[in-house]
Chain A
Amino acid sequence: DAEITQSPRHKITETGRQVTLACHQTWNHNNMFWYRQDLGHGLRLIHYSYGVQDTNKGEVSDGYSVSRSNTEDLPLTLESAASSQTSVYFCASSASGGDNEQFFGPGTRLTVL
């Protein structure tokens, strides 16, 4: 069965370190998205991609970057982790030309000390 996976599921890091969160999907979806979820804010879009070599900034992109070298993966990098980036991170994907239905990975809980 097609799926979307994220790793690690839990991560503790220190302020200033670079952190990369992995997202891998086997749906063969062109569209991939990264969100963060914080209490009271719901899901906020960090970065998204519509295909290989395409990346775009979302509403809360400062301090984050992504790259898309293949269809299956969209890793999210925190260049220099800050305590404000402590959050739960979700990756999602959707088909191009479809009805915008997004399917989510299990999430990564990141703590920055």
Chain B
Amino acid sequence: QKEVEQNSGPLSVPEGAIASLNCTYSDRGSQSFFWYRQYSGKSPELIMSIYSNGDKEDGRFTAQLNKASQYVSLLIRDSQPSDSATYLCAVSPSGGYNKLIFGAGTRLAVHP
């Protein structure tokens, strides 16, 4: 069973701090990794994708991938109350042919 694991949270951080969200996956052959943000009652929204080891930055967001450790993370700098949401990690499994496996999500709460 190919799995994607996330801490369910809630992760509580003060406004302006760095939020660090983590995800591990079991399929060593996975090639594509995604972070989705989901506000309560809304659909998942793609915010970051990463395909190679290292860091990828986009504005206040940085995705980090370590395939050897089967670990992907999302850092949110200067966290804002509007970042409060559930963050879903998604992984494209080997032989998955465009399918994604989702983690259950980490709830982030940014308090003023």
- A8-64 interface (Cβ within 8 A of B): 31, 33, 35, 40-45, 48, 50
* A99-B49 CB under 8 A given contacts A40-B104, A42-B103, A42-B104: yes
* Residue from B97, B100, B104 in contact with A102 in the complex, judged by beta carbons closer than 8 Å: B100
Q: Decide yes or no whether A106 CB sits under 8 A from chain B.
A: yes
Kindly count the residue-residue contacts between A and B in the assembled complex, taking CB atoms under 8 Å apart.
Answer: 50
Whether A101 lies near B43 (C-beta < 8 A) is no
Whether A102 lies near B88 (C-beta < 8 A) is no
When distances are taken between beta carbons in the complex, the residues of chain A under 8 Å from B105 are: 42
A4 shortest CB reach to chain B, Å: 9
Instruction: Tell me the interface secondary structure of chain B in the complex.
Output: loop
Q: Decide yes or no whether B69 CB sits under 8 A from chain A.
A: no
When distances are taken between beta carbons in the complex, the residues of chain B under 8 Å from A45 are: 99
* A94-B98 CB under 8 A given contacts A99-B51, A104-B43, A104-B44: yes
Q: Decide yes or no whether A105 CB sits under 8 A from chain B.
A: yes
Q: A41–B100 Cα gap in the complex (Å)?
A: 15
By a beta-carbon cutoff of 8 Å, the part of chain B in contact with chain A is 32, 34, 36, 42-46, 49, 51, 88, 90, 92, 96-100, 102-105
A-B contact pairs, 6 of them (CB 8 A): A94-B98, A99-B32, A99-B49, A104-B44, A105-B43, A106-B42
